[in-house]
Chains A and B, each alone.
Chain A
Amino acid sequence: MDEIQRNLLEQVAGLHEMPAGAYNIRANGQSVDRSTTAHIDIITKEDKQGIDIVIKPGTKKESVHIPVLLSQSGLTEMVYNDFHVGDDCDVTIVAGCGIHNSGDSDSRHDGIHTFYIGKNSHVKYVEKHYGSGDGRGERIMNPETVVLLGENSFMELETVQIKGVDSTRRSTTATLSDGAKLIVTEKLMTHGSQTAETSFQVDLNGEGSSANIISRSVAKDDSRQLFLSKINGNSRCAGHSECDGIIMDRATISAIPEITANNLDAELIHEAAIGKIAGEQITKLMTLGLTEEQAEAQIVNGFLK
């Protein structure tokens, strides 16, 4: 791995060296390093690009890292990763994609991650997206996440995209069984002329299932963001989505929430607030000696922390 790839790896997975536990590192379209454990197997798909990650029932306190790095300008790929998580597991999965593009043609990673999660399991899934390089070619990522959450299982899904991705279209769909619980936190920042679209569709099919989708985003310069969320309450369930956006400069954010109660006992809430940084917050930090620019940066950093 070269310096650029190492930097990407650190940005998307917080890794300085090879992680403990299972991992698969994909760089420029190839699997470059892999490690499995007694409970977690990683198998290359035969029919298409991608891997199957198989986590045995009862696997506790283990982690899987599957970062994807693209440093060759002009590379385009479509990858399918399937996660088979057994019953009674407690695992952390760290995915993420870093693109470094210093050339003139677009680099693009499209990935479909599908989670088949058994019963009574807890999965924490962290996904970071990062772009670097000053070429004219765009850095494009279109991640799709599909979650099938078994009875009484709990999934925490954290996605972060703070820097350097020119265009992204993210789609997350989840289907929840009885007693299942999903919490999504999304942090997004766009600048320059970037565009980002994120959409969520959650079907609360199970009795006592619940979902909470929390999105915090900042749009700067001329960037544009679109937030779509659909929650269908199909049984006695609780759904909540929240979109909190800060716009700066000439940026725009749209939030289009949709909540549908198909059952008398479905409780669904959507909250959305979009606006510029509150003037009094800037004023307050200026009274502590910060300049206006420093105050803005502090507020934005805190908001996305």
Chain B
Amino acid sequence: MLELQNLSFQVSGDTDSQKEIIKNISLTFEDHTFIAITGPNGGGKSTLAKLIMGIEKPTAGKIVFNGTDITDMSITERARLGISFAFQQPVRFKGIKVKDLITLAAGSNIKLSSACDYLSRVGLCARDYINRDVDTSLSGGELKRIEIATIIARNTPLSVFDEPEAGIDLWSFNNLIKVFEDLHSSTDNSLIIISHQERILNIADEIVVLAGGSVQARGHREDILPELLNGTGGCKLYNQQ
């Protein structure tokens, strides 16, 4: 479904030196898979997600999506091919309503009731939110959930969520877990979820640990989780680079 081949991403640092944020990563994801990506802050997770969506362009390597080389494709082209991305920090707009954003995401003039359904799925009372502006008046957690609702509305073959749980309260977190389980079981779509939460890692088919811009480990949760959670083991993984 998705192949990252020798992917690297460098930025120019303060002192002429190049800083390598993603270092020669090669990963292949099967169809209908649910991958969790975890790792320490600054490990390169969000950058990798942006490379997949086309928000950043790799300095080396190739990205292949369902057999198509998308490395040089724009964000729009990738979105239309079937990739979605829920931002770690969702964007606010003056004058764009929740309803507008969900309609744009769904890609057609959907009925108001279906727009409301997407909101309900992320635990927002649709009546209270559908006509609100996606601006600074929304709380961080509300904005996060609306972001998730737009990705559900898109219903694409691949959805990448960047720390969807951040800022979401405990009660809603249980529902969120269910949302991801449902997304995984009720469609053939694939999910990549960047997360620091054990409970999300627990429901993924596979876990990738990213640290220092490299893949430190990849495997099934039975193998990876104990390593991660066990203090020294976790340190070992995190400190390898």
Contacts and interface: CB of A to CB of B under 8 A. Distances in A.
B79 A286 contact: yes
Nearest to A277: B93
B220 interface: no
Given A299-B96, A302-B96, A284 B80 contact: no
B27 interface: no
A216 B90 CA distance: 23
Contacts of B55: 283, 287
A131 B79 CA distance: 38
A302 B76 contact: no
Contacts of B150: 288
Interface in A246-284: 278, 280-281, 283-284
Interface string B86-127: 010011011111001100110100000000000000000000
Contacts of B85: 287
Given A287-B85, A288-B79, A290-B76, A302 B91 contact: no
Nearest to A280: B91
A246 to B, nearest CB: 9
A284 B154 CA distance: 13
A301 B75 CA distance: 22
Interface hub of B53, B87, B104, B105 (most chain A Cβ within 10 A)? B104
B76 A304 contact: no
Interface in B61-88: 74-76, 79-80, 84-85, 87
Contacts of B74: 286
Given A287-B53, A287-B75, A287-B85, A298 B94 contact: no
Nearest to B90: A284
Contacts of A286: 74-76, 79
B91 A289 contact: no
Interface residues of A, number: 22
A285 B95 CA distance: 14
A61 interface: no
A288 B93 CA distance: 15
A305 interface: yes
B138 to A, nearest CB: 14
Interface hub of A216, A285, A288, A299 (most chain B Cβ within 10 A)? A288
Interface hub of B75, B84, B93, B95 (most chain A Cβ within 10 A)? B75
A135 B90 CA distance: 45
Interface in A210-245: 216, 244
A31 interface: no
A193 interface: no
B76 A289 contact: yes
Given A288-B105, A288-B150, A302-B100, A283 B95 contact: no
Q: Return the 4 tightest CB-CB contacts between A and B, nearest first.
A: A302-B95, A286-B75, A302-B96, A289-B79
Interface of B: 53, 55, 74-76, 79-80, 84-85, 87, 90-91, 93-97, 100-101, 104-105, 107, 150, 154
Interface of A: 216, 244, 278, 280-281, 283-292, 298-299, 301-305
29 contacts: A216-B94, A244-B94, A278-B91, A281-B91, A281-B93, A284-B90, A284-B91, A286-B75, A286-B79, A287-B75, A287-B85, A288-B79, A289-B76, A289-B79, A289-B80, A289-B107, A289-B154, A290-B76, A290-B104, A292-B76, A298-B104, A299-B93, A301-B95, A302-B94, A302-B96, A302-B97, A303-B95, A304-B95, A305-B95
Given A286-B75, A287-B53, A302-B97, 17 more contacts: A216-B94, A244-B94, A278-B91, A283-B55, A284-B87, A284-B90, A284-B91, A287-B79, A288-B101, A288-B104, A289-B104, A289-B154, A290-B76, A292-B76, A298-B96, A302-B94, A303-B94
